Amino acid sequence: MMNEDIQSYLKELTTPVTEQVEKLERYAHLHNVPIMESTAIDYVCKQIIVHQPKRILEVGTAIGYSALRMLEASPDAEIITIEKDEQRYKEAIQFIKECKKAEQVDVRLGEALEVLEELQSNKELFDFIFIDAAKGKYRNFFDLAHPLLHKGGWLVTDNVLFRGYVKDEEAAPKRYRNMVKKIRDYNQFLSTHPDYITSILPIGDGVMMSYKKD
């Protein structure tokens, strides 16, 4: 992980956000809602600007912050986003309505693995998949998301450095060690997966960018 001074410097260089995004960030901070760190979401959105995916799948909606940021980056996109917490789901629906994006952002309430199985059974396909949910289940999410991603598409995973603990799982507090091991295993698995070209970027809490070979 880069030190805090470098992270602060990079934050100064991120693209200015809209008033609506600022409102979401304030709400998240006030109510302790985990949202993607500013330098990380800024980088992901710039990649979306370049690639302009038409169909985006997000695992982990929270209050809809990253979904709305991604839609800003690709204004013609359709997004399906999955959230298991009913309160967060309701908050996301409200914020998305306030932004007048309800026709483009479809928020699904339910366990992600079950919704991913349903998307598979419907033969859904996406150009861009973003995973930012239960970190101990990243491999499970990937196994179901992989068939949903077009060749030539991107799969992005957040928090893959998890506070720097992935470099030494024994240094992590005991309550995190099992999860950190699973993240380390996931990082190794996807970094060597024959169908993907993967890089891990030390921005935010670690962002993994995986390109599905065409």
- The domain segmentation of the chain, as residue ranges, is 4-212
Q: Would you say the C-alpha torsion 101, 103, 109, 114 has a positive or negative sign? A: negative
Q: Which two tokens stand for residue 112?
A: 């992600």
What does each of the 214 residues of the chain score in pLDDT, given as a tens digit?
556 777 777 777 777 778 888 999 999 999 999 999 999 999 999 999 999 999 999 999 999 999 999 999 999 999 999 999 999 999 999 999 999 999 999 999 999 999 999 999 999 999 999 999 999 999 999 999 999 999 999 999 999 999 999 998 888 999 999 999 999 999 999 999 999 999 999 999 999 999 999 8
Q: What pTM value is reported for the model?
A: 0.93
**Please, which residues bridge with residue 62 across strands?**
none
Q: Which CATH number fits domain 4-212: 3.40.50.700, 3.90.110.10, 3.90.1150.10, 3.40.50.150?
A: 3.40.50.150
Q: Where are the beta strands (DSSP E) in the chain?
A: 55-59, 78-83, 105-109, 126-131, 149-158, 196-201, 207-212
Q: Which of 171, 160, 140 shows the shortest CA–CA distance to 210?
A: 160
